[in-house]
Structure 1
Amino acid sequence: MDDDYFDYESTIDLNRKVALITGANSGLGLETSKVLAQKGATVIMACRNLKKAAKAKNEIIEDLPDAKIEIMPLDLSSRRSIEEFVPKVEKKYDTIDFLVNNAGIMMPPLDLQYEDVESQLAVNYLSHFLLTSLLFPMIENAPEGRIIQLSSIAHRWGDTRWNYYNSKSTYDKKKAYGQSKLACLMFAYELQRRLSRSRSHVKSYAAHPGASSTNLFQYVSPIQRPFIRLLERFLFQDAEDGSMPTLRALLDPYLNPGSFVGPDGFKELKGEPTVVDSSRISKDPVAALKLWEWTEKKLNTTFDLEEWNE
């Protein structure tokens, strides 16, 4: 098979698979949910806004009356919500075949979560780390579990000063967004290293949508919005095309574990899904180890894969 070719239309039947997608009520998450439901998977739409989630579910059901869709409330800005969410999933399902850590926020005003962590790093990365660690036994129980982190070309804006953007004097919303997406990518790479060492059959991937028209731009200032709309018209791809890298990471049976999938076009803004490169620091195992340790300390938790494969 050509490494740069992937046809999700011909992917095998997913009738016995269970997929959990955060932020599934719009944009990339909704488009990913549609395709997986079309292929027969049971899709858990884990969403903060239940009204929007219900509307998204109805949109899928209109086209796919037999779709297996369940909405479950999850607010990634709340640790309590995450910890209450996981037992509810465990009560209803034995396994999770696909975990898509898709939900995210982009360039909001400064806000702190987990006591003293800037909200983009907290919601986009820390909460997904916690969610993944709590759901991992269910993913490990699946025959071919896959975990996908949504990163971004903006990961190149980021740095590894994880405590730096937590005050008004240092907050830079663009760099903080890049930092959060760098953390997501480093998590995906380091998770695969640990999965390999523990000889787990679970696979970790990262994906990015390029420049995609989604509701991530809700915090853009009114002055910037005409410029963003102009960019969307000429440089961006729609959410359906933007979801293709995620779908390849989920469904391509030939994709090497630990791959980062994004568009193949100019500057990775749009195009067909292919394996792409990333910044030097994102691939640094020493930096990733430090991030993992910082994360466990910040969350006061331990994500030890070895205990599941003893």
Structure 2
Amino acid sequence: MSADTKWGAGDVPDQTGRVAVITGSNTGIGYEAAAVLAARGAHVVLAVRNLDKGKAAVDRITAATPHADVTLQQLDLTSLDSVRRAADDLRAEYSRIDLLINNAGVMTTPKATTSDGFELQFGTNHLGHFALTGQVLDNMLPVEGSRVVTISSNGHRFGSINFDDLQSERGYNRLRAYGQAKLANLLFTYELNRRLSKKGAPTIAVAAHPGSSNTELTRNLPGVIRGPVELVWRQIAQDAAGGALPTLRAATDPQVRGGQYYGPDGIGEQRGHPKLVQSNRKSHDEDVARRLWTVSEELTGVTFPV
């Protein structure tokens, strides 16, 4: 494929024989990615909190693609116990996992904590996925071409990792907390890929972001700004199918390399076809990444086989 070719869902290679686990895949870009992967032959596991909504998603996928092979796995990323149970189920059911797409997330929520006492956005978007990845990675490491794809956002650009107050206990700002969580997604991806590379594993870690995608993420914005933001959002955002393209490219394009980051090719990376993009300087700070990794292991009790 030439550099100027517009990559689309039709470029997803045949996925027959591959197992793809996608978190938060009953709606939005996770659902759209799941639908495409299933249509291309993958066995897709929708790892979702609400099984009723998950069942509805399975029905929609199989209605469009009758041969689709789609199953459900209950997963609540706000509970480390739920993450452990889900990881146990996945390890037992699938001796090989080709794709883990860490897609689920919350954005700009009111101040709240997970069942383990973590700030909700940091706990869900980063720690939950950190714990899940660490506990299923053994089933990925022997698999040639396996990938961990973690979804970040442009919000990482206004984030910083506040090690003195990771859980925003001294003061909570929902945008800062979101930025911290999305920056953590990238620091995790790059550090995981470094560790995988040092181990000589065939597994790679890649990140993607959807740009501005018309999904449910804006539902938690404060009421005074939600209306104006959604008005502007509708003008610049692409639909969820378009927002899923960077995820799909990161997950399936044979030319993707570990430690890369994919997003839309339009102005400000808000919309468009997926291309290789660059994250900010903070996301590449290896000292911060190693410290975040150590803290994440301590908080979750999960250590990685790399």
Residue 281 of structure 2: aligned partner: 280
Residue 181 of structure 2: aligned partner: 180
Q: Aligned-pair distance for 1:4?
A: 5.1
Residue 308 of structure 1: aligned partner: none
**Bigger shift: 48-57 or 29-38?**
48-57
Residue 103 of structure 2: aligned partner: 102
For residues 1-310 of structure 1, the aligned pairs below 5 Å read: 1-3=1-3, 5=5, 6-113=7-114, 115-164=116-165, 166-167=167-168, 169-305=170-306
Match for 1:260: what amino acid? Answer: Y
Task: Indicate conservation of the 8 Å contact 1:4/1:275, yes or no.
Answer: no
- Tell me the secondary structure at the aligned position of residue 12 of structure 1: coil
* Separation in 1, partners of 2:223, 2:53: 24
- Tell me the secondary structure at the aligned position of residue 19 of structure 1: strand
**TM-score, normalised via structure 1 length:** 0.94
Task: Describe the shift of the 1:215–1:155 C-alpha distance in structure 2 as closer, same or farther (beyond 3 A).
Answer: same
Query: 1:154-184 CA distances to partner (integer Å, 9 max, x unpaired)?
Result: 0011111145263564100001001000000
* Separation in 1, partners of 2:4, 2:178: 29
- Tell me the secondary structure at the aligned position of residue 147 of structure 1: strand
Q: Aligned-pair distance for 1:11?
A: 3.2
Task: Indicate conservation of the 8 Å contact 1:117/1:163, yes or no.
Answer: no
Query: 1:16-55 CA distances to partner (integer Å, 9 max, x unpaired)?
Result: 0000000000001000001000101000000001111111
Task: Describe the shift of the 1:87–1:74 C-alpha distance in structure 2 as closer, same or farther (beyond 3 A).
Answer: same
- Tell me the secondary structure at the aligned position of residue 75 of structure 1: coil
**Bigger shift: 140-149 or 215-224?**
215-224
Q: Aligned-pair distance for 1:7?
A: 4.2
Q: Aligned-pair distance for 1:116?
A: 4.1
Task: Indicate conservation of the 8 Å contact 1:205/1:260, yes or no.
Answer: yes
Task: Indicate conservation of the 8 Å contact 2:13/2:253, yes or no.
Answer: no
Structure 1: state its 5+ residue gaps: 306-310
Q: Aligned-pair distance for 1:270?
A: 0.8
* Separation in 2, partners of 1:74, 1:238: 25
Q: Aligned-pair distance for 1:296?
A: 1.0
Query: 1:122-168 CA distances to partner (integer Å, 9 max, x unpaired)?
Result: 00000100000000011113221100010000001111114526356
* Separation in 2, partners of 1:94, 1:159: 37
Task: Describe the shift of the 1:295–1:165 C-alpha distance in structure 2 as closer, same or farther (beyond 3 A).
Answer: closer
Task: Say what the alpha-carbon RMSD is for the aligned residues.
Answer: 1.5
Q: Aligned-pair distance for 1:273?
A: 0.5
**Bigger shift: 232-241 or 201-210?**
232-241
* Separation in 1, partners of 2:167, 2:225: 24
* Separation in 1, partners of 2:178, 2:208: 16
Q: Aligned-pair distance for 1:87?
A: 1.8
* Separation in 2, partners of 1:303, 1:10: 33
Query: 1:54-109 CA distances to partner (integer Å, 9 max, x unpaired)?
Result: 11111111111111000111111111111111221222211110000000011111
**Bigger shift: 54-63 or 161-170?**
161-170
Match for 2:77: what amino acid? Answer: L
Match for 2:258: what amino acid? Answer: P
Match for 1:9: what amino acid? Answer: G
Structure 2: state its 5+ residue gaps: none
